[in-house]
Structure 1
């Protein structure tokens, strides 16, 4: 596989995870196997929507499923996916915190030169 093919696969995985509902589902799965009904309960996302997103995530290799009786349990296929998600979350929080600190000194300063 050449670099271009690899980057296309990488981009495809990122696109799969670049959806707020899929991120909520990923968060619901972070601690282990969970049924669709438990994901619905944890996320508040309607069952048909959860099932649709799980099918996409399964096709892309993000989650795997296992049948247990009449239930299907889902889990994240590789714990590094959750680690990557957490790392991106940390970067976002640090960026937002930094932006807030940069903006705060300027808040309310527009009236300082008045009058």
Structure 2
């Protein structure tokens, strides 16, 4: 699962899917990325069990497998922000 979260583009994809299920073309447009690149990232996310894929005619619609992944990402972001703030305070105190 962690490898699926190791790329910022994949994290953005997950946040876009939190709003609603989307097709590759929609995600590519939202991310301003090439469709093959987005397809590759979606394959990684699917292989890691983070998203599901449902065929709709010629297209595939992707959705989050479990919406709690967004809660986990938000928690990780908050922890990282706190850690960075602590480091900034240490650097600031050391330069006084």
TM-score (norm 1): 0.72
Shift of 1:48: 0.4
- Which structure 1 segments of 5+ residues have no match? 1-12, 110-115
Correspondence for 2:41: 53
Q: Quick one: which of 56, 64, 87 aligns to 1:99?
A: 87
Shift of 1:53: 1.3
Shift of 1:56: 1.8
Q: Which has the higher contact order (CA 8 A, sep 6+)?
A: 2
Question: Which moved further from structure 2: 75-84 or 25-34?
Answer: 25-34
- Which structure 2 segments of 5+ residues have no match? none
Alignment deviations for residues 41-95 of structure 1 (CA, whole Å, 9 cap, x no partner): 2222221011011112112211001233443211110011111111111111111
> Size of the alignment, in residue pairs?
96
Give me the CA root mean square deviation. Answer: 1.7
Q: Which has the larger radius of gyration?
A: 1
TM-score (norm 2): 0.84
